[in-house]
Amino acid sequence: MSASSQTFRLAPKAGLGGEIDRDKPLRFTFNGKSYQGYAGDTLASALLANGVDVVNRSFKYSRPRGVVAAGAEEPNAIVQLGASEAAQVPNVRATQQALYEGLSARGTNGWPDAQRDMMSLVGKFGGPFMPVGFYYKTFKAPASLWMTYEKYIRKAAGLGRAPGESDPDIYDHMNRHCEVLVVGAGPAGLMAALTAAAGGVRVILCDEQETFGGSLRDRDETIDGLPAPEWARQTIERLAAMANVTLLPRTTANGYHDHNFVTLHERRTEHLGDTAPMVDGRRRSRSRLHRVRARHVVLASGAHERPLVYAGNDVPGNLLAGAVSSYIRRYAVMPGRRLVLSVTNDHAYRAALDWQAAGGEVVAIADARANPDGELVERARAAGIRVIAGSAVIEATSDRKGHRVNGARVAAIDIEGFRLSGEAEVLACDTIASSGGYSPVAHLAAHTGIRPVWRDDILGFVPGQAVDPVKGFSVVGGAAGVYALPALLEGAAVKVTQALAADGIHVDASEPPAVESIREGEAIGLYHVPHDKPTMRAPKQFVDLQNDVTAAAIELATIEGFESIEHVKRYTAMGFGTDQGKLGNINGMAIAARCLGQTIPETGTTVFRPNYTPVNFGAIVGRHCKELFEPERYTAMHQWHVAHGAKFEDVGQWKRPWYYPQRVNGKLESMHEAVARECLAVREKVGVLDASTLGKIDIQGPDAREFLGRIYTNGWEKLAVGKARYGLMCKDDGMVMDDGVTTCLGDNHFLMTTTTGGAAAILEWLEIWHQTEWPELEVYFTSVTDHWATMTLTGPEARNLLAELTDVDLDRDSFKFMEWREGVVAGVPARIYRISFTGELSFEINVQANYAMQVWESLFAHGNKYGLTPYGTETMHVLRAEKGFIIVGQDTDGSMTPEDLGMHWCVGYKKPYSWIGKRALTRSDTRREDRKQLVGLKPLEADVVLEEGAQIVFDPKQAIPMRMVGHVTSSYYSPTLERGFALAVVKGGHKRLGERVYLPMADGKTHAAEIVSPIFYDPQGSRQNV
Amino acid sequence: MFHIYCPYCAEYREEEEFHPRGQAHIARPADPEATSDDAWGDYLFFRDNPRGVHHELWVHAVGCRKFFNITRDTRSYAILETYRMGERPTVTANGPEAVPSATATLTGALA
Amino acid sequence: MSKVVQFDPHPAQAAATQSPLHHVAAKPAVGETGVTLTERAFLDHLIVRGEPGVLAGAVEAVLGLELPTQPQRLARNETGSLQWLSPDEWLLIVAGGEGFRLQRELREALGEAHFSIVDVGGGQTLLELSGKHAVEVLMKSTVYDVDPRHFPVGKGVTSVFAKATAVIRRVDESRWELVVRRSFADYCLRWLLDAGEEYGIAHQPTQPAVASHRQTVTDTETVS
């Protein structure tokens, strides 16, 4: 491909194509064909330079579509980017995608490609005549077939596709804080940033385009004696040199959230290649989400030009007037040869003047106003351009395939009467540009609930009053409906000065720049151009090009009874999807208003939600993915567990050893085998568990004991120094929320343990009661979970092993069950707690975590002869369940009282203070006899292990749906008992010991089980007391 | 994403550092055993859901770990004031005199 | 006098020690070094709680530091650093092995007052971040405003760090400290190395390599 393929590229000329570099040609492919463009091009400008008319097929009707706009509002040129499968990016606007060497893109819709679309032959579904609500009406019945329909509809619809391979790029987030965030770097935004920067405050200026400057890039007025684009360039340079200013080009403000929190999506390397290039062997993110907290948000997002709605207005060759100027001036690209312009305002005349100056033929300007007389109109007339007053393009005609405009039907129109007032004239042309005025970009403001309000003087909606009076928020320039350069620059400076003054920041108001002003005539309101046929029968007149919504569809919706604009929107899909109504919304509302016989403000507007333009998932996720998806919390012995082949279980964010499969006869044990071995080791010899993850809270203060008495269900007043006690905690609704052993270290000093998952929540629980209800109690809580490493040594040989390593007297009479001692273990100062969660003789050794491995390894160095076996959480679960010890959150679910659990022994009914949860235990509901109560279940067949969660019934013969009376909460195979066993909750279960229940399973089998005590092993508790 | 002034840290902090804990000024009945089932149920389960000014209990969980109150407009999400435990709000739906008497005492925790 | 048990966690003789990040090998930056990360392990960390009026005198007498009562303030001298965490909570970081003695002296000075001092040295570690791009690495990691204009030297905050939490302190013009919990240290380190990659991050070996053992020989008495 040579430069000669760029048949629509203008020859070099001063003032044209200032943004491209002709010395840097770039190759790219579109729909498999190779083309050439230049550095500085967008994909859209390069396609237009190469005369590519059809860039896509439309969403619903599969009609050929071309480039319409030059910015984010582009509805048609939406492409799938990426040469390789892994680099696929859907929904990219060609008008915002910078060209790079080797860029490869395809139109999003159309099969096999947009030029030769097969879907249009069948018209997708229902032929070419698909009325509004077609899907709702056609596929609504029978309901059972919807899944089938949907599959094909989705296939046909096509909104791009996700890559089928892992994304090689990385993405990240950056948190930013500033006093002034300016969204949009057009004339108003630059002025606002300049003003704020002069105040010395932190300023962030972002703009979604490759290049700052906004409309200044397309104007030839002079500012301070400089041509507008040059003034913009110099202003940007000044800002870039200021330390308090951050400039973010290629950065879209996509969401405006509460309290001036704005998300900015910066495309950092999207202009450089399919994947982010490495720099000095280091990766950098492809795109970045900036999370900005701003004291003031200045919305300078400008305005989108509104196209006129006329028949055939979707055929390639129909463009926005402003886009014509943009392509000519920025990229030296003529989007055609012969132009017809249809306008309602003076501003759009620039397109014709630029077209002619670039050497194109302006066939005519159809101006809807009866007497256009502004300065630009005079210039056009003086240049010999035919201006047809009181008229509009009513229809674009096209070649047979609809691939390009070949003529414009222009007629005199009666706007009030919505009819033609003269015969249509056909003008041969290849391009029709239209301008129905300008719509301030109010999207971002609407995100926080600021409703747009209609202004007759500018014929558009502008952001209304902020609903949050505290918020620093201002709208400047085109976004506020201020279009004339002098007023816009001055207004931006004044608003920012005032906003900062409200915070006591003084800005020296410098003279606003001197701007050449152009006298403009008044614009007229025209949205939908009448046709010689009624709207329903006229050729399609598109309102929303991206969603294929026509004027007829909106009219039909109103006829079918949709009166609220929100309902019309949902029925027709107008403004849906990635488009968010950028071009079509106002026209659609105007049409609905006319059909309903209302004004536009009476009809109202829909509002917009984040995101303004699509954001890739990568940017949303940032670095919170793969190995950094979620924190993994490690104990001090974690590396040992890894080295010894442990399988891990996630408990909250902790990685806990689940079991340690051993290689037996060359084969790795299954979980069942490993757990059986670990269980028997603990019951017969000695095992060790890393219990460091248990929550630990240090409690100090003279009222510590009183506090414990109020927060726990049981009594603490008599717990002596040196002793430990199991405690149960309820919420004030009487339901168990946590449990654990608390130790009395000193009269005013306790160590509370909590469940692993509950540690943070319990600390907050203690604080909320202390801070809000009992601030008079003198007590402090401090988390020491991570400080201590905890090793549970348990089994008949535990004492013999520990005795080899410690100076503590372990004799059963001097160190009793539920006591603690301080001493040295393996040379390390330790606290030893004689508590047991297995039912065996147990010692919990606690040392400062940095010394944990010395102790842990010493245990194993001495433990071999005793058969010391490391065990994991699965074995811990089996052993505790054999003893009927509950796990809060597994055997309880927030609806179990201590009494439901059969733990009356742990309830201090006579404590003087009405502790948390006590009152609820006498409510009628908690006194019911048929509450679900914790019991043991013994399957009649010994080898059956019931499913956890399995539902329980009394009568297996009853009709479905059966009456469910409870469920299994914990279920295991016990290698000690050599049978399956379970804990379960059963209605009135405590009085049903010995009764039989049934568990019907999904596979049709029904298990029978006997209700028994939940304590399956050593019910006297003698083994832990030896 | 709220921007919340912590009255203890004396500066605005990001919402991610805080946990909401429901309606503020729910005092635990002084004598639970003498409280009727209905009144106890109200204390446990029933909360206001106003359109407009609302007082909420929050905790600066990742920060100073102190509980405090927020007066917030549920329509605009504007935070009208934040105040420490034991203090009275100065902004209420119907002026300061309409503050429930419970605010004069210390505020309560959630069930 | 509160009946509280003090516990000296350090062995009388040198023992094998492992810092929370002992398992991650140090690594130089790829290309030019823009950020340097160092674990400063085995310091003694104490949480001191009480009313400022109760604590200030004892703190000044024992540590030679004025108790920082302004929020987010960090005081520092040759003994160590003392950081405001909350109106009734401070983080004291001193040399490894010094914590037990200082705690005992504080307890003696505070007498019967209501306060709490808790040793948390095994539960957290300190990471030092320095270099010209340290601020950017922090901006990627925390929602707190770490802009030097807003975060002067001598400030310290507790905030969100990636999906964990950290105490973030500015030591001098170019150095920052992160105090992270032991169990989250591996995650935080991996996060920092990832966030710092584009700036060239060097991960220095942990300092010191091993803990110093008990500084003052005491029996593990119960202080009453």
In DSSP notation, A4-65 reads GG-TTBPPP-TTSSTT-EEEEEEEEEETTEEEEEEET-BHHHHHHHTT----EE-TTT--EE
Cβ pair A658, A872 in contact under 8 A = yes
The pLDDT, as a whole number, for residue A580 is: 80
Whole domain around residue C159: which residue ranges?
A: 35-203
Q: Which helix H or strand E contains B40, and what residues bound it?
A: helix B37-45
Task: Determine the 3-state secondary structure of A453 from DSSP.
Answer: strand
- B contacts of A295 (beta carbons < 8 Å): none
Per-residue buried b or exposed e for A336-355, using 16+ beta carbons within 10 Å of the residue's own CB: bebbbbbbbbbbbbbbbbbb
For residues C200 and C28, give the distance between their C-alpha atoms in angstroms, rounded to a whole number: 9
For residues A516 and C145, give the distance between their C-alpha atoms in angstroms, rounded to a whole number: 42
Specify which residues C47 forms β-bridges with: C91, C118
Q: Which two tokens stand for residue A36?
A: 């050439």
DSSP C155: B
Instruction: Write the DSSP assignment of C76-107 as a string of letters.
Output: E-SSEEEEEEETTEEEEEE-TTTHHHHHHHHH
Closest by Cβ to C16, choosing from A280, A700, A854: A854
Per mean pLDDT, which range of A510-524, A539-553, A583-597, C166-180 is the poorest?
A510-524
**pLDDT, tens only, C143-160:** 999 999 999 999 999 999
Number of Cβ within a 10 Å radius of residue A414:
12
The pLDDT, as a whole number, for residue A577 is: 75
Residue A128 has pLDDT above 60, yes or no: no
Topology (CATH level 3) of domain B3-104? Folate-binding fold (3.30.2270)
Average pLDDT, chain B: 87
For residues A67 and A322, give the distance between their C-alpha atoms in angstroms, rounded to a whole number: 13
The pLDDT, as a whole number, for residue A1 is: 46
For residues A249 and A209, give the distance between their C-alpha atoms in angstroms, rounded to a whole number: 6
Length of chain A: 1026
Question: pLDDT-derived band of residue A112, with 50, 70 and 90 as boundaries?
Answer: very low
- A contacts of B16 (beta carbons < 8 Å): none
Amino acid making up residue C84 = W
Task: Determine the 3-state secondary structure of A554 from DSSP.
Answer: helix
Please state the domain extents for chain B.
Answer: 3-104
How far is Cα of residue A77 from the mean position of the Cα atoms in its chain? 25
Cβ pair B9, B64 in contact under 8 A = yes
Chain B nearest-CA distance from C173, in A, is 23
Task: Determine the 3-state secondary structure of A875 from DSSP.
Answer: helix
A467 contact B CB<8A: yes
CATH of domain A172-303+440-501: 3.50.50.60
- C contacts of B13 (beta carbons < 8 Å): 144, 159
Per-residue buried b or exposed e for B60-79, using 16+ beta carbons within 10 Å of the residue's own CB: bbbbbbbbbbbbbbeebbbb
Q: What percent of chain A has pLDDT over 70?
A: 94
Topology (CATH level 3) of domain A927-1026? Elongation Factor Tu (Ef-tu); domain 3 (2.40.30)
Listed residue (A317, A323, A335, A309) closest to A402, CA to CA: A317
CATH of domain A542-603: 1.10.10.1100
> Into which CATH architecture does domain A3-139+153-157 fall?
Roll (3.10)
Contact partners of B by the rule of 3+ C-beta pairs under 8 A?
Answer: A, C
Helices marked H in A448-563 — which ranges? 485-501, 551-559
**Phi, psi dihedral angles at A670 (to 5 degrees):** -80, 170
Mean pLDDT in residue range A669-685: 98
For residues C70 and C79, give the distance between their C-alpha atoms in angstroms, rounded to a whole number: 21
Q: Which two tokens stand for residue A1005?
A: 């089998």
Listed residue (C196, C217, C165, C152) closest to C29, CA to CA: C196
The pLDDT, as a whole number, for residue A606 is: 80
Closest by Cβ to B67, choosing from A471, A733, A771: A771
Residue A759 has pLDDT above 50, yes or no: yes
Mutate to test the interface with C, among A245, A287, A756, A787 (most CBs of C within 10 A): A787
Amino acid making up residue A293 = R
Do the chains contact at C160 and B14, CB–CB below 8 Å?
A: yes
Mean pLDDT in residue range A60-88: 93
Calculated CA dihedral for residues A458, A463, A469, A471, nearest 10 degrees: -120
Residue A123 has pLDDT above 60, yes or no: no
Mean pLDDT in residue range A188-203: 96
Domain count, chain C: 1
Chain C nearest-CA distance from A646, in A, is 17
CATH number of the domain within which C117 lies: 3.30.1360.120
Q: Which two tokens stand for residue A303?
A: 């305005």
Q: What percent of chain A has pLDDT over 90?
A: 86
Residue B106 has pLDDT above 70, yes or no: no
**pLDDT, tens only, A693-727:** 999 999 999 999 999 999 999 999 999 999 999 99
Residue with tokens 């080898």: A943
- C contacts of A719 (beta carbons < 8 Å): none
Question: pLDDT-derived band of residue A60, with 50, 70 and 90 as boundaries?
Answer: confident
Task: Determine the 3-state secondary structure of B62 from DSSP.
Answer: coil
Listed residue (A685, A695, A717) closest to A763, CA to CA: A695
Closest by Cβ to B62, choosing from C72, C87, C158: C158
Question: pLDDT-derived band of residue A121, with 50, 70 and 90 as boundaries?
Answer: very low
Q: Is residue C15, in this structure, part of any structural domain at all?
A: no
Q: Give Cβ neighbours of residue A666 (< 8 Å, ≥ 6 apart).
A: none
**pLDDT, tens only, A834-875:** 999 999 999 999 999 999 999 999 999 999 999 999 999 999
Listed residue (A161, A155, A89, A159) closest to A122, CA to CA: A155
Amino acid making up residue A627 = E
Chain B nearest-CA distance from A766, in A, is 10
What CATH class is the domain A307-436? alpha beta
Residue A125 has pLDDT above 60, yes or no: no
Q: Say how many CB pairs under 8 Å bridge A and C.
A: 190
**pLDDT, tens only, A543-562:** 999 989 999 999 999 999 99
Cβ pair C179, A263 in contact under 8 A = no
Signed CA dihedral, A839, A843, A846, A850: sign only: negative
Q: Which two tokens stand for residue A294?
A: 């701003």
Do the chains contact at B35 and A919, CB–CB below 8 Å?
A: yes
Interface of B with C (CB under 8 A): 8-11, 13-14, 16-17, 62-66
Cβ pair A88, A61 in contact under 8 A = no
Residue A110 has pLDDT above 60, yes or no: no
Per mean pLDDT, which range of A145-159, A198-212, A241-255 is the poorest?
A145-159
Average pLDDT, chain A: 93
Listed residue (A192, A178, A449) closest to A293, CA to CA: A178
Do the chains contact at B9 and C159, CB–CB below 8 Å?
A: no
Mean pLDDT in residue range A133-161: 59
For residues A654 and C121, give the distance between their C-alpha atoms in angstroms, rounded to a whole number: 20
Mean pLDDT in residue range A222-238: 95
Pairing of strands A695-700, A780-783: antiparallel
DSSP A719: P
Mutate to test the interface with C, among B13, B18, B19 (most CBs of C within 10 A): B13
Residue B39 has pLDDT above 50, yes or no: yes
ipTM rounded to 2 decimals: 0.95
Please state the domain extents for chain A.
Answer: 3-139+153-157, 172-303+440-501, 307-436, 542-603, 644-684+789-888, 694-784, 927-1026
The angle that helices A228-240 and A187-198 make with each other, rounded to 10 degrees, is 30
The pLDDT, as a whole number, for residue A5 is: 84
Backbone Cα Rg of chain B:
14
Mean pLDDT in residue range A330-343: 97
The pLDDT, as a whole number, for residue A307 is: 97
Backbone Cα Rg of chain C:
18
Do the chains contact at B14 and C143, CB–CB below 8 Å?
A: yes
- A contacts of B76 (beta carbons < 8 Å): 449, 467-469
CATH of domain A694-784: 3.30.70.1400
The pLDDT, as a whole number, for residue B96 is: 55
Closest by Cβ to A851, choosing from C5, C17, C143: C17
Residue of C nearest to B64 (CA): C86
A723 contact C CB<8A: no
Cβ pair A789, A704 in contact under 8 A = no
Topology (CATH level 3) of domain A644-684+789-888? Gyrase A; domain 2 (3.30.1360)
Max intra-chain CA distance, chain A: 115
Mean pLDDT in residue range B68-73: 96
- B contacts of C143 (beta carbons < 8 Å): 14, 16-17
Residue A390 has pLDDT above 90, yes or no: yes
* Strand ranges in A895-1002 using DSSP code E only, listed in sequence order: 932-939, 951-952, 966-974, 979-987, 996-1000
Listed residue (A1005, A986, A445) closest to A996, CA to CA: A986
Mutate to test the interface with B, among A450, A710, A772, A919 (most CBs of B within 10 A): A772
Signed CA dihedral, A228, A230, A236, A238: sign only: negative
- Counting as low any pLDDT under 50, the low residues of chain C are 1-2, 217-224
